[in-house]
C-alpha cells in the first residue's frame, strides 16, 4: 500500500510541476509581449517621423524654388519699370525743365487784402 | 466510527487521473488567461505609445511648417519692398537730374536785360505786397545794382498805383547777394529781421517741394494707387 501511495503522490507532484511550467511559460510570454509593444511602437514612431520630415523637406524645397522664381520675376519687373521711367524722363524732361524755369521767372505779385 | 473504505486500485487510479487532469486543466486555463491579458496589454501599450509620440511629432511639425511659411512671407515682402525702393530711387534720380539741369539754366534770364529788369520788378513787387511796409531794403548782385534801382522805381510806382501807399526801397550795398547766384533779389523788412528770398536759386528750391506733384504727373502719369485727393 505504501508503494502505491508514494507512486500516487509522485504523479500528483509531477502534475504540479508540469502545471507550474505551463503557467511559467505563459508569464514569460507576457514579459515578451511587453517588450514587443515598446519595440514595435518605436519602429512605427520612427517611420512616422521620417515621413513627416520628408514632407517638410519637400515643402521647403518647393518654396526655395518658388522664392528664386519670385526674385527673378521681381528683378525683371523692377528693370522694366525703371526702363519706363527713363523713357518717360527722356520724353518729357525738356518740357518739365521749361515749366520749372517759367515758374522761377514768373513772379506773381498780388496785392493782399486791405489791412 | 465509520470506516473509510479503502478504494480499490482501479478507483485510486481513476481518482489520480482525475486529479492530474484537473491540475493540468487549471494550469492551462490560467496560462490562457495570462496570454490573453498579455496580448491585450500589448495592443493597448503599443497604441498608447504610438499615439503619444505621433501627437508630439505632429505638433512639432505643425510649428515647423508655420515658421517656414512665415519666413517665406517675410522673404516675399522684403523682396517687394526692395523692388519698390529701386523704382522709387530711379524716379528720384530723374527728378534730381531735372532740377540740376534747370538750375544750370537759371542764368538764361539775364540774357535779355529788358526782360530781366521787368522780371526783377515783379520780384520786388512780390516782396512789397508780402511785407506791406513803408520802408524796405533790397539786396541784389553787385552787377545788377543799376537794373535793380530802375526796377525798384517801377515797382514802387505800381505799388502806389495799386494800393495807394508809398514804399521806399533802398539797395543794401554792404550785403550783396553772393556772386555765384544767377539772379533775383532779396527783400528785407521788419527792421532787418524778416527777409523774402526771391533769388532764382531760392525760388527753384521752393519748387522742389511745391512742383513735385505736378512734375510726377507730367513724367509718370497718374498714380493708380492714390486714394485721397484733398
Tell me which residue of A19, A49, A7 sits closest to B50, measured CA to CA: A49
CB-based contact A68:B73 (threshold 8 Å): no
- Beta bridge pairs of residue B77: none
Q: Best residue in B126, B216, B219, B221 to probe A by mutation, most A CBs within 10 Å? A: B219
Local confidence band at A32 (pLDDT 50, 70, 90 cut-offs): very high
What pLDDT is stored for residue A2 in this prediction?
66
Interface of A with B in 18-77 (CB under 8 A): 18-20, 22-23, 25-27, 29-30, 33-34, 36-38, 40-42, 44-45, 48-49, 52, 55-56, 59-60, 63, 66-67, 70-71, 74-75, 77
Which residues in chain A have their CB less than 8 angstroms from residue B151's CB?
none
Tell me which residue of A40, A16, A107 sits closest to B199, measured CA to CA: A107
Q: Please, what's the b/e burial string for B173-195 (b: 16 or more CB within 10 A of its CB; e: otherwise)?
A: eeebbeeebbbbbbbbbeeeeee
Please compute Rg for chain B using Cα positions: 52
Tell me which residue of B150, B149, B129 sits closest to B139, measured CA to CA: B149
Local confidence band at B1 (pLDDT 50, 70, 90 cut-offs): very low
Local confidence band at B5 (pLDDT 50, 70, 90 cut-offs): low
Which residues in chain B have their CB less than 8 angstroms from residue A81's CB?
87, 90
Name the residue facing A52 among B9, B61, B128 (closest C-beta): B61
ipTM metric: 0.72
Average pLDDT of span A25-51: 95
Report phi then psi at B204, rounded to 5. -65, -40
Label the pairing between strands B184-189 and B168-171: unpaired
CB-based contact B16:A12 (threshold 8 Å): yes
Contacts of A66 (CB under 8 A, 6+ apart): B72
Contacts of A80 (CB under 8 A, 6+ apart): none
Please compute Rg for chain A using Cα positions: 48
Query: pLDDT tens digits, residue range B165-205?
Result: 899 999 998 889 888 899 999 999 988 899 999 999 999 99
Query: pLDDT tens digits, residue range A58-93?
Result: 999 988 888 888 889 889 999 999 999 999 888 888
Amino acid at each position: 500500500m505504501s508503494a502505491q501511495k508514494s507512486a500516487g503522490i509522485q504523479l500528483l507532484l509531477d502534475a504540479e510541476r508540469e502545471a507550474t511550467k505551463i503557467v511559467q511559460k505563459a508569464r514569460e510570454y507576457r514579459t515578451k509581449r511587453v517588450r514587443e509593444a515598446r519595440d514595435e511602437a518605436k519602429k512605427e514612431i520612427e517611420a512616422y517621423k521620417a515621413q513627416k520630415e520628408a514632407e517638410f523637406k519637400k515643402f521647403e524645397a518647393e518654396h526655395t524654388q518658388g522664392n528664386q522664381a519670385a526674385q527673378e520675376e521681381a528683378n525683371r519687373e523692377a528693370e522694366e519699370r525703371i526702363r519706363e521711367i527713363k523713357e518717360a524722363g527722356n520724353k518729357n524732361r525738356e518740357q518739365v525743365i521749361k515749366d520749372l524755369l517759367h515758374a522761377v521767372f514768373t513772379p506773381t505779385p498780388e496785392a493782399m487784402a486791405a489791412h | 466510527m465509520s470506516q473509510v473504505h479503502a478504494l480499490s486500485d482501479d478507483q485510486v487510479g481513476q481518482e489520480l487521473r482525475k486529479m492530474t487532469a484537473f491540475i493540468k486543466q487549471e494550469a492551462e486555463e490560467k496560462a490562457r488567461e495570462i496570454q490573453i491579458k498579455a496580448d491585450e496589454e500589448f495592443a493597448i501599450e503599443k497604441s498608447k505609445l504610438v499615439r503619444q509620440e505621433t501627437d508630439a511629432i505632429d505638433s512639432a511639425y505643425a510649428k515647423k511648417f508655420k515658421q517656414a511659411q512665415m519666413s517665406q512671407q517675410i522673404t516675399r515682402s522684403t523682396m517687394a519692398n526692395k523692388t519698390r525702393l529701386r523704382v522709387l530711387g530711379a524716379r528720384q534720380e530723374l527728378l534730381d537730374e531735372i532740377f540740376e539741369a534747370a538750375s544750370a539754366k537759371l542764368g538764361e534770364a539775364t540774357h535779355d536785360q529788358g526782360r530781366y529788369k521787368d522780371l526783377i520788378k515783379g520780384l520786388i513787387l512780390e516782396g512789397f505786397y508780402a511785407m506791406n511796409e513803408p520802408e524796405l531794403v533790397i539786396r541784389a548782385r553787385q552787377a545788377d545794382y543799376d537794373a535793380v534801382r530802375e526796377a525798384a522805381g517801377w515797382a514802387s510806382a505800381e505799388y502806389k498805383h495799386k494800393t495807394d501807399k508809398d514804399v521806399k526801397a533802398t539797395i543794401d550795398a554792404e550785403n550783396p547777394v553772393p556772386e555765384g547766384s544767377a539772379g533775383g533779389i532779396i527783400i528785407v523788412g521788419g527792421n532787418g529781421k524778416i527777409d523774402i528770398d526771391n533769388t532764382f536759386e531760392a525760388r527753384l528750391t521752393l519748387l522742389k517741394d511745391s512742383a513735385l506733384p505736378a512734375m510726377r504727373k507730367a513724367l509718370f502719369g497718374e498714380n493708380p494707387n492714390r486714394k485721397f485727393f484733398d
